Amino acid sequence: MAKTGIVINHCIKGSETVLYNLRDVFNHSEIDFDELDLESLKGGYDFICSIGGDGTMLKTLRYYSKTGTPVMGVNIGRLGFLSLISPEQVKDLGDIIKNKEYSVKDRIMLKTSDKTALNDIVIKGHSTVRSSKFNLYINGTLMSEYIADGIIVATPTGSTAYGLSAGGPILYPGLEGIVIVPICAHTMTARPLVIPIDEKLTIKSTDELLDVSCDGQENIIGVNEVNIELSEYKAKLALPKDVDFYSVLKNKLYWGMSPVSDADKYI
């Protein structure tokens, strides 16, 4: 039987209860497992269960992308766009893992310096109390000049996160594209841009240093320029076989639902 790791974010309320239940399920199913704290991850596993929210999943997926280990998430956070197993479904995880009743989806990642991002890389001026001037280069060619609060460079996975809130498009997770979204740009001609994954981006500021955030979790402070390209690693997201992206989009974001006819869903 494959070795399974259970990653738990102890900072989230309810995580201990889910862990207790998952222990019982795995013991009953005779699944060999270890428990891992989110802050002390290690390799040596064939499958990972992550207990937390999407933030927990982002960190876990980035770490285990280097070993090609599939990660399935149990959601006890808010949205749960990556963590699609509910606490009530934990009782089924033993059978799901033993019988391999899941599919593994490759998700592209971005890298800058020595850091990677599954969702997005966000660049802002070091003085965040005002807008900054940004120059965007694609493959060494100056593409755009922005006066904006920042720039989001997102993967298809991250297109439903910060990029969507800033007015960017949603990309199907399997598409090989990168979304560039200016944040509150001071011109109506500054619109989101979708480019191929093999392009190399450079972002510079003409008036100050830049701060960089990868998935909102790993930061680079005060640099002259930011170079972004496709990571050599891919995250391995394990999903129940009956899950499809469009259902998740509808059920998690209420996409395309009328707030009038479906008002009861919001009460």
Tell me how far apart the alpha carbons of residues 18 and 93 are, in angstroms, rounded to a whole number: 12
Within 10 angstroms of residue 109's Cβ, the number of other Cβ atoms is 24
Catalytic annotation, residues = 54
> What is the sign of the dihedral through the CA atoms of 18, 23, 24 and 30?
positive
